[in-house]
Amino acid sequence: QKARIGVTGLAVMGSNLARNLARHGFRVAVHNRSAAKTKTLVEQHGHEGDFVAAESLADFVDSLQTPRQVIIMVKAGGPTDAVIDELVELLEPGDMVVDGGNAHYADTRRREAALRERGLHFVGTGISGGEEGALNGPSIMPGGSPESYQHLGPVLEAISAKVDGQPCCTHVGPDGAGHFVKMVHNGIEYADMQLIAEAFDLLHKVAGLGAGEIAEVFRGWNSGDLESYLVEITAEVLGHVDEATGKPFVEVVADQAEQKGTGRWTVQEALELGVPVTGIAEAVFARSLSGHTEQRAAAQKVLPGPSSVPQVADRDAFVEDVRQALYASKVVAYAQGFDEIRAAADTYDWDIDLGAMATIWRGGCIIRARFLERIKDAYDTNKDLPSLLVDSYFADAVIKAQEAWRRVVVAAAAAGVPAPGFSSALSYYDALRSERLPAALIQGLRDFFGAHTYRRVDREGSFHTLWGEGRNEIDA
Ligand code: NDP
C-alpha cells in the first residue's frame, strides 16, 4: 500500500511533522539525505503510526500514492533548491511539492513558476510553532494553487493546531502568499518580543522590580487582554533561576539578541512595498544594536544617562501603565503587519482574507494570542478596514490606553531606559491621527534643492517654486 504523503528532510521539524502525520493516521513516507536520520526516526517512533522509510529519493517517490504529495523540510535556500531539482526529475505532472521550510517568498514565487511549467504544483507553506508545534499541531499557511489545496488541505488541516474545533490552517493564496504571511508572522513575533522585553526592562529599571516579581506580573497579565503564548513563556523564563549561580536566569544570559532573518525580510519587503512597519523595524534594529558590543562598551564609558531619575511613586499604577502601553504598542505592531500583508496581496494579486490569517494564528504558532479573535472580528466587519487601529474595538483599546502609554514613554525617556518599540508605536499612533504632518516642510525642502515639485492643499496640480529667481510659483 502506498503512502498518503511523504516528508523529506528529517531534522527536528521534518521528523516531528512526519510523526504528527503518522499519529493522525496518515501512512507517511519518510526520507532524509543521510539515511541515519530516517533510521533513527523509525526506530524511535515507528510505533506511533504507519511509516514507510526510504533510503533513496527514488524509492521515496515510488512509495507515494498519485498524485504524489511531498513535503520538503530542509534548510531554506540552496538546500531546498537542491532537493527540488532532484525531486522534479522523479515526479509526474499533477504531483505536489510542499516546501515547509522558512523560504523567502520571492524564492517560492520563482520555484512555483518553474514547477508549474513542468505541470507540478509547488506549495510554499509557512509552518509556525517550532518543534513542539510541528509535533502537536502547528499553524500552517499554505500557498499555491487552489487545486493543490483540495488534496493537501484535509491532511494539513488534520495535523494543524485547533482552536474551538477550527483548524489553524487555511489556503492563504497563490504562489508566495503562504511564505509571505509566515514571514510577516515572524516579523510581528519580533515586535511582540521586543515590546515584552521593553516592558520587563522598564519594570526592572524604573520600578525596581526583580525578575521573580516581574515573572508574577506577566503571569497576571496572561489572564487578560494580553493573554498569549509569548506572555505565558515570559513568566516562565523570568521565573527561572540559574542553577550554577542562584541568580535569575535572565541575569546570566548574554544580552545580545540573535536573529535568523525573517524579521529582517519583513522590514526589507515593507520598505519595498512602502508600508511603515515601524514596530517590526525597531525590533530588528534593537536586536542588531544589542549585538554591537564594541560600540556599546565605548559608549558606556563616555555617554552618561540623566543626572537624576524620577522615582516611581506608585508601583502598582506604573505596572498597570506598562501593561496598557504594551497592549497598545502590540496593537500597532499587528496593524502594521496586516497592512504589509494587504499591500503584498494588492501587489501580487493574492486576494488574502486577512481575518482568516488572524484565525489561523490563534493556535499553534508563536504569536498565538487571545486578541487575534478581535482581529478576525474586525476584518469580518469590514474587510477593507484602512487600519486595524480604526476598527471600533481596537480604536477604543488604544484610546483607553493612550494616557498610560504616554506616561510610560515619558518615564522611559526620563529614566534613560531605551524603549524604541513603545515610543515608535506611540509616534505612529500620533502620526496617523495628526491632521497636518511636517511632511509639508520636507516637500518644500525637496523642491528647494532638487526641484522635486509639490502639490498644494488648495488646488489641483503639481508646482515648483523658483527659489533662486524671485520665488515665483510655476506649474510643474
Ligand atoms: P535544518 O534547517 O537544520 O535543516 C536540516 C535538514 O536539512 C536535514 O534534514 C539535512 O539533511 C537537510 N539538508 C541540508 N542540506 C541539504 C541538501 N543540500 N540536500 C538535502 N538535504 C539537505 O532543519 P530544521 O528541522 O530546524 O528546519 C527545517 C526547515 O523548517 C528549515 O527551512 C527551517 O527554516 C524551517 N522551520 C524551522 C523551525 C524551527 O523551529 N526549527 C520553525 C519553522 C520552520 P542531513 O541530515 O542529511 O544533513
Nearest-atom number in ligand 1 for the CA of 8 is 9
d(CA 360, CA 119): 29
User: Is 189 designated active site?
Assistant: yes
pLDDT at 310: 85
Q: Ligand 1 centroid vs 13 CA: distance in angstroms? A: 7
Nearest-atom number in ligand 1 for the CA of 76 is 32
**Chain centre distance of CA 157:** 21
39 lines ligand 1 (CB under 6 A): no
Q: Ligand 1 centroid vs 68 CA: distance in angstroms? A: 21
d(CA 18, CA 23): 9
Whether 129 and 161 have beta carbons less than 8 Å apart is answered as: yes
- Unique residue bearing C-alpha cell 509616534: 427
Nearest-atom number in ligand 1 for the CA of 101 is 32
pLDDT at 309: 85
In the numeric block, which cell numbers belong to residue 363?
A: 493556535
pLDDT at 20: 98
Residues contacting 291, CB < 8 A, separation 6+: 256, 257, 258
261 lines ligand 1 (CB under 6 A): no
Q: Work out the burial of residue 86: count CB atoms within 10 Å of its CB; fewer than 13 is exposed, 13-18 middle, 19 or more buried.
A: middle
Torsion 203-205-206-209 (CA) sign: positive
- Unique residue bearing C-alpha cell 499557511: 141
Task: List the catalytic residue out of 112, 157, 189, 282.
Answer: 189
Q: Whose CA is nearest to atom 40 of ligand 1?
A: 130
d(CA 318, CA 27): 55
pLDDT at 370: 85
pLDDT along the chain (476 residues), means of 10: 97 98 98 97 98 98 98 97 98 98 97 98 97 97 97 98 96 98 98 98 97 98 95 98 98 97 97 98 98 98 94 96 98 98 98 96 94 95 96 97 98 98 98 98 98 98 97 96
Whether 75 and 12 have beta carbons less than 8 Å apart is answered as: no
For the chain, state the CA radius of gyration. Answer: 25
In the numeric block, which cell numbers belong to residue 231?
A: 506572555
Nearest-atom number in ligand 1 for the CA of 103 is 32
184 lines ligand 1 (CB under 6 A): no
In the numeric block, which cell numbers belong to residue 152?
A: 493537501
9 lines ligand 1 (CB under 6 A): yes
Q: Whose CA is nearest to atom 38 of ligand 1?
A: 130
DSSP conformation letters of 94-122: T-EEEE-S---HHHHHHHHHHHHHTT-EE
431-454 pLDDT, tens per residue? 999 999 999 999 999 999 999 999
Q: Ligand 1 centroid vs 253 CA: distance in angstroms? A: 27
36 lines ligand 1 (CB under 6 A): no
Q: Whose CA is nearest to atom 17 of ligand 1?
A: 79
Task: List the catalytic residue out of 112, 157, 182, 376.
Answer: 182
Instruction: Show the DSSP H helices in 137-176 as ranges.
Output: 146-159
For residue 472, give Cα distances in angstroms to 299, 439, 468.
49, 22, 9
Whether 53 and 44 have beta carbons less than 8 Å apart is answered as: no
82 lines ligand 1 (CB under 6 A): yes
Q: Ligand 1 centroid vs 186 CA: distance in angstroms? A: 18
239 lines ligand 1 (CB under 6 A): no
3-state DSSP percent of the chain in helix, strand and coil, to 5: 55, 10, 35
User: Is 216 designated active site?
Assistant: no
76 lines ligand 1 (CB under 6 A): yes
Q: Ligand 1 centroid vs 11 CA: distance in angstroms? A: 6
Nearest-atom number in ligand 1 for the CA of 260 is 34
Q: Ligand 1 centroid vs 36 CA: distance in angstroms? A: 15
Residue from 12, 13, 57, 104 to probe ligand 1 pocket by mutation (most atoms less than 8 Å from CB): 13
102 lines ligand 1 (CB under 6 A): yes
Q: Ligand 1 centroid vs 439 CA: distance in angstroms? A: 46
> What does DSSP assign to residue 371?
T
What is the pTM assigned to this prediction? 0.96
262 lines ligand 1 (CB under 6 A): no
38 lines ligand 1 (CB under 6 A): no
HSE-CB for 198 with a 13 A CA cutoff: 36
